[in-house]
Amino acid sequence: MSLSVDSIIERIGGAEKIASLTGVGTEAVRKWRQARAIPPKHWPVVAKAAGVPIEALQPGASGAETSSSEFSSHDQKRDSIMSEQSGAVSGAIPDGATAALVLADGTVFRGMGFGAPATGEAIGEICFSTGMTGYQETLTDPSFAGQIITFTFPHIGNVGTNAEDDEAARVSARGLVVKQDLTEPANWRSAESLDAWLKERGVPGICGVDTRALTLRIRDKGPQTAVLAHVVDGKLDIEALKKAAVAWPGLEGMDLAKVVTCEKPYGWSQGVWEWPSATKPLPAKLRKVVAVDYGAKRNILRCLATAGCDVTVVPATTTAEEILALKPEGVFLSNGPGDPAATAAYAVPAIRGVLDAGVPVFGICLGHQLLALALGGKTYKLERGHRGANQPVKDLATGRVEITSQNHGFAVDERSLPNEVRVTHVSLFDRSNEGIASNTLPAFSVQYHPEASPGPSDSFYLFERFVAMIDARQASGVKAG
């Protein structure tokens, strides 16, 4: 029977006591707690001081001890894993490695697995997010379907997880890659650790990866496929994983909106959060808005409600006739995963029908790309996707710069836009398109995420602009729908 690290530390009289006894700092003791293991070289001293047999320090005998790790010393093992991961892998499993990230270009990163086990089914485009907060919102953003996320921020896990921060009912990302072991939660809102949360949702993760090297590779060589595999003994068929990565067709041409959309229409009437725990009361006047769900984030629906919309969410494949039958005063096109050109097959005829009826339209991210396609433009795959919460965007009408939250791998080709469509926003990172508006129809959209979650809320004004557009049309005497 092994004892938990916490109970051993308690027996000895606390972190400072055990630190001075073993000649380490209290930071090292914090890491032992996090790794749920004490390095073997300290076992004789610790066992004696705690008055327990040395076997009791061996992790793995009790369920609680093994839940996140099979290692005796994460720090020592990580060193050996990190030095092994430069590229070609000999086939030998580095000491302590239980997971691997295998890229289609043949690069193999070994590391330690966390979250759910996976033997190769976690396959998708490997991308990186530079966001420093909001890993839970990111993981539950349906736009990440078909992708494995590398978080460049190191302390993933630090605020735990809670039921309120989900952006959708499921996790759509196929896996996550981090540098350090998951950080233990230290936040009053945390209900569960990220590790347990991932296990419950069947999502695998890998830590101990040199995320800087991985990010540079994606940044400089462009998007590619990866497989994340995680098994307890680390015995993985790397060659088979490489083959699977090469065989995966990639996101181009993939319609994933139909995979993540809702099954049937539903109403939404919750506003944005208001400190400390309630949601903001909705305004008295509400406009009837139909939101087409290509993979909608909940905070978009909250922002629409707070701006004054009575929202009915409908599935991605809803036709123009079905949308117009609901007599909307405005139609919203949501964010979502996959290639806009593929989803356009059914989305563009529906959007066209709504535009032809003169109903005001507002789109975000995939919704922006689909509006551009419906207005006659084209989309393309970016060499470097934009994912993070600090992306500068310039509003060309005002010259104002907004710091925005973004997550997209495709973009609207400005050169393809017809004369009656103007560019409204541009990325200050790479000058790619971030917003358009029609000169002849009440329709506009942005590539970035004005709803934040995670990220800044500089761009909330866009929801108000949509509501003002609806009101202007109603004031001009047009009947709804």
Ligand X SMILES: NC(=O)CC[C@H](N)C(=O)O
Nearer to ligand X, 338 or 377 (CB): 338
Give the range of 76-84, 87-95, 401-409, 434-442 binding ligand X by CB under 6 A: 401-409
The 8-class DSSP code of residue 57 comes to G
Joined tokens for residue 314: 């409908």
Joined tokens for residue 238: 């790397």
Residue 410 interacting with ligand X (CB under 6 A): yes
Element holding 368 (H helix, E strand): helix 366-374
Residue in the shown chain whose Cβ atom is closest to ligand X: 365
Residue 139 interacting with ligand X (CB under 6 A): no
Of 184, 182, 58, the C-alpha closest to 113 is 182
Residue 335 interacting with ligand X (CB under 6 A): yes
**Is 366 labelled as part of a ligand binding site?**
yes
Q: Which residues of 272-291 are buried (b: 16+ CB within 10 A; e: fewer)?
A: bbeeeeeeeebeeebbbbbb
Residue 407 interacting with ligand X (CB under 6 A): yes
**Is 143 labelled as part of a ligand binding site?**
yes
Mention every residue, 6+ apart, whose C-beta is less than 8 A from residue 182.
68, 114, 156, 157, 193, 194, 195, 205, 207
Residue 143 interacting with ligand X (CB under 6 A): yes
Give the range of 74-82, 105-113, 204-212, 331-339 binding ligand X by CB under 6 A: 331-339
Give the range of 106-114, 129-137, 333-341, 344-352 binding ligand X by CB under 6 A: 333-341
Residue 199 interacting with ligand X (CB under 6 A): no
CB of 400 to ligand X, least distance (A): 23
| Distance of alpha carbon 408 from the chain centroid | 11
Residue 223 interacting with ligand X (CB under 6 A): no
Task: Check 42, 74, 408, 449 and give the catalytic one.
Answer: 449
Task: Check 167, 207, 365, 434 and give the catalytic one.
Answer: 365
Give the range of 166-174, 269-277, 285-293, 407-415 binding ligand X by CB under 6 A: 407-415
Nearer to ligand X, 59 or 337 (CB): 337
**Is 202 labelled as part of a ligand binding site?**
no
Mention every residue, 6+ apart, whose C-beta is less than 8 A from residue 231.
98, 99, 113, 117, 119
Q: Is 309 a catalytic residue?
A: no
Select the residue interacting with ligand X from 394, 408, 425, 473 (CB under 6 A). 408
Show the DSSP H helices in 1-120 as ranges.
5-12, 15-22, 26-35, 43-50, 63-66, 74-84
The 8-class DSSP code of residue 92 comes to P
Task: Check 125, 167, 184, 451 and give the catalytic one.
Answer: 451
**Is 336 labelled as part of a ligand binding site?**
yes
Give the range of 51-59, 117-125, 303-311, 335-343 binding ligand X by CB under 6 A: 335-343
Give the dihedral sign, CA 383/166/366/271. Answer: negative
The dihedral formed by the CA atoms of 258, 338, 254 and 205, expressed in degrees to the nearest 10: -100
Select the residue interacting with ligand X from 336, 353, 377, 455 (CB under 6 A). 336
* CB-CB neighbours of 90 under 10 Å: 9
Contact 295, 336 (CB under 8 A): yes
Q: Is 449 a catalytic residue?
A: yes
Q: State the Cα–Cα distance between residues 62 and 233, nearest whole angstrom.
A: 18
Residues in 338-367 at the binding interface with ligand X, rule: CB under 6 A? 338, 365-366
Residue 409 interacting with ligand X (CB under 6 A): yes
Joined tokens for residue 188: 């009053």
Residue 328 interacting with ligand X (CB under 6 A): no
Binding site as annotated, residues: 143, 336, 338, 366, 369, 407, 409-410
Report, as residue numbers or ranges, the catalytic residues.
365, 449, 451
Annotated binding site for L-glutamine: 143, 336, 338, 366, 369, 407, 409-410
Please give the residue ranges that form the binding site for ligand X (CB under 6 A). Answer: 143, 335-338, 365-366, 407-410
